[in-house]
Structure 1
């Protein structure tokens, strides 16, 4: 077992930038001293959030199990972009929902009909807990997971699709590379393959003037905006300097007739 001083030193030596904060959180979660097995897991690179069982997102704790993608602070920008497009009773779909952090944060601000979906059953198991009383969770591949009655009714479709280029995954921090599911990271050759699939199918699910929001990298955004335009959406790029977040918004024209 590790006492406070020793724990901070070991975390710092392992490369943990916020060693003092991590030591405090581990001590609060597991007691003082922190069990050696837990310390070894963190020193070996396992995400702190997986050890704690939660991640902080949008000012709240959301449950995150080992092997599930950890929501990043930059994705809070998607929450605010979605809320700006929603009113009470609107239909919100959170695709590639992971643990359900985005949908939960939006639904706490606006009373919406929320549907969240992910292809990973481990992720949707977390989402079902985090979204209890807020929305419905579906397991399946993108639009194939959604109930058909939502076609043409969605007000906002938000998707934090994987957007790391496949060739860049090896250079990611081991916390992500070794402990988060590759399916939640790998965006294909240029990082945009999953986003292209969402953009191709979105118009059929959006209602008139409905909005698609996808988080992406700053360098990828112009390419993704062109993809949105090619699928009949009016596209614009958004950026949040404080969170270093970039997204593309695509609005379905009111007159647009999806295939």
Structure 2
């Protein structure tokens, strides 16, 4: 086994995998659990598929969350949205009505619900995405935790939520269109562009969320979006100008920035 791991590590390192030793161990365990040969998994990884797509899962906020090829892989920095949302929900009455918009595999909504329930809180969760693969993946991950619907932003949500959302998690795409070409090939070639492309300046989808959010949030409810540090000031302005006074939240540890607008 040691020889197999050493050989696999060498192959992955030659392919440019920075954490080749750790990846070799993960791929070996995944092969043993799935019955798929380690060579087949390794070839997919060496060909450029994201490790998470090859393994079939990603660890996010201490949870193992299923991801399948063609689904956006949640980044660790996005835990900042979960942490901020839990803090904001402290003064909301049960059940806390939460929406995970642009949900992808449902990682944000699931992490929020798990954290809240660990605190003894009730959560009513709805997750939504425009991508069919993401919806299917999120339904598997959120089974028993919430409802997943398909559609474009707020158009996907049940009308009964209008004016009643306490926490709106919206990890919108915020990469400027022209900058997608500079992203790692794992993202460019294996994740849906709809989950990456934020329009000319990266804030097109965020502005659409800011436009509609005031009508969907409950009084005192909050909308949370991840953004880049360079975009944060304009993102704050987008929410504030639409009637949701906003602030930025930064985490040096996660190297993450978020914007919170509150009704």
TM value normalised by structure 2: 0.93
Aligned length: 251
Equivalent residues in 2 for 1:7-86, closer than 5 Å? 7-31=8-32, 34-86=37-89
- Residue of structure 2 in register with 1:131 after alignment: 142
Deviation at 1:39, TM superposition (A): 1.4
Which residue is equivalent to 1:100?
Answer: 106
Say whether the 8 Å CA contact 1:221–1:247 is kept in structure 2.
yes
2:212 maps to 1:201: yes
Aligned-pair RMSD on alpha carbons?
A: 1.4
Task: Give the alignment of 1:163-174 within 5 angstroms.
Answer: 163-174=174-185
Name stretches of at least 5 consecutive residues in structure 1 with no aligned partner. 253-259
Where structure 2 has 5 or more consecutive residues not aligned to the other structure, the ranges are: 117-121
- Report the Cα distance in structure 1 between the residues aligned to 2:185 and 2:191, rounded to whole angstroms: 9
Contact 2:174/2:197 (8 A) holds in 1:
yes
Runs of 4+ in structure 1 over 6 Å off: none
Work out which of the residue numbers 169, 175, 178 in structure 1 matches 2:189: 178
Task: Give the CA deviation at 1:189.
Answer: 0.6
Match of 1:140 in 2: 151
Q: TM-score, normalised by structure 1?
A: 0.94
- Secondary structure at 2:215 match in 1: coil
Higher helix proportion: 2
